[in-house]
Structure 1
Amino acid sequence: MAQITSDAHTLVNMTYVSRANLDLSPKALGEILQQAQKNNTANGITGMLVFNNNYFLQTIEGPRAQINRLLYALILDQRHHDLQLLETRELKHREWSKWSMNQASLNEQNAAVYLKYSTTADFNPYLMSAESARGLMTELSVQRS
């Protein structure tokens, strides 16, 4: 007989892209990051956020029920639009366990990493595959360790 597991014990990863509604100042982006870190810690969620040219690329992981609740909140969040899921998958273990929410933005030190995974000279995560998005975020997180 198959063992039944609850959503609370099923670890999932979700990666999405969206566009900021307004030009975000560094202060506003910092506020979003602080809010995400606080909320994610309370809800057992970890992840990585990449922001560049008013694009968000984010991967989050945690219990399925918490990720579903967060997705609903993200859809309703007026600070961004055009949310598109790149990937949702079950995990055996966390990939971003060090961070309630790590963050990276384009700078001179990591410009080559962006170009390595991008399909165009300008960063546009809507054109990235889920595999490319994972590779980009993994390399950027190693630089931030």
Structure 2
Amino acid sequence: MTQTTSDAHILVSMTYISRANPDMSHETLSEILKQAQENNALNAITGMLIFNNQYFLQTIEGSRSQINHLLRCLLKDERHYDLQLLETRELKSREWSRWSMDLASPAMDNTALYLKYSTTTDFNPYLLSAESIRRLIAEFK
């Protein structure tokens, strides 16, 4: 995808949640992560993906045109459904500059962390506000 001069320097962050298809395997998740790391490195996109076998929570950042292009691709991806865009905002600098795509898999030892931002100890991003999600993601840095 070719960026225009007008948006090449506008850095944005986008956060979304979605539900994994019930047949999501560990191999499919590995494939998603590898594909994201390769494509994001080529397109100067950085971010964080949290996955727990049911839900995806992802924050990505890059040029506005690249993020919009990626969103269109994500909406067509049949490995997940019910994608909900939580937040899009302009950034002054990257928050995830070290990772083309980092992965966090929620585990039992994160129970206190989920309870800090939610009314439940289970990881369900559909029950969290955008502000709570932003703070939860920051905890994984």
TM-score over 0.5 (shorter chain): yes
**Correspondence for 1:45:** 45
**Correspondence for 2:18:** 18
Matching residue's letter, 2:44: G
Q: Are 1:135 and 2:135 matched, yes or no?
A: yes
Higher mean Cα deviation, 22-31 or 44-53?
A: 22-31
TM-score w.r.t. structure 1 length?
Answer: 0.89
**Correspondence for 2:85:** 85
- Percent identity among equivalent residues? 69
Q: Where in structure 2 are there 5+ consecutive unaligned residues?
A: none
**Correspondence for 1:123:** 123
Higher mean Cα deviation, 114-123 or 97-106?
A: 114-123
Change (3 A) 1:126 1:81: same
Give how far 1:111 is off. 2.6
**Corresponding residue pairs, total:** 137
Higher mean Cα deviation, 25-34 or 88-97?
A: 25-34
Q: Distance in 2 between matches of 1:72 and 1:124?
A: 24
Q: Distance in 2 between matches of 1:93 and 1:87?
A: 17
**Correspondence for 2:71:** 71
Change (3 A) 1:36 1:80: same
Secondary structure of the residue aligned to 1:40 is helix
Secondary structure of the residue aligned to 2:94 is coil
Secondary structure of the residue aligned to 1:103 is strand
Secondary structure of the residue aligned to 1:98 is coil
Q: Distance in 1 between matches of 2:101 and 2:92?
A: 20
Give how far 1:93 is off. 0.2
- Contact kept, 8 Å, 1:53 with 1:123, in 2: the verdict is no
Moved segments of 4+, more than 3 Å:
none
Q: Distance in 2 between matches of 1:127 and 1:25?
A: 24
Give how far 1:107 is off. 1.6
Matching residue's letter, 2:85: L
TM-score w.r.t. structure 2 length?
Answer: 0.91
Give how far 1:11 is off. 0.2
- Contact kept, 8 Å, 1:118 with 1:125, in 2: the verdict is no
**Correspondence for 1:57:** 57
Q: Distance in 2 between matches of 1:8 and 1:139?
A: 29
Matching residue's letter, 1:50: I
**Correspondence for 2:32:** 32
Give how far 1:28 is off. 1.6
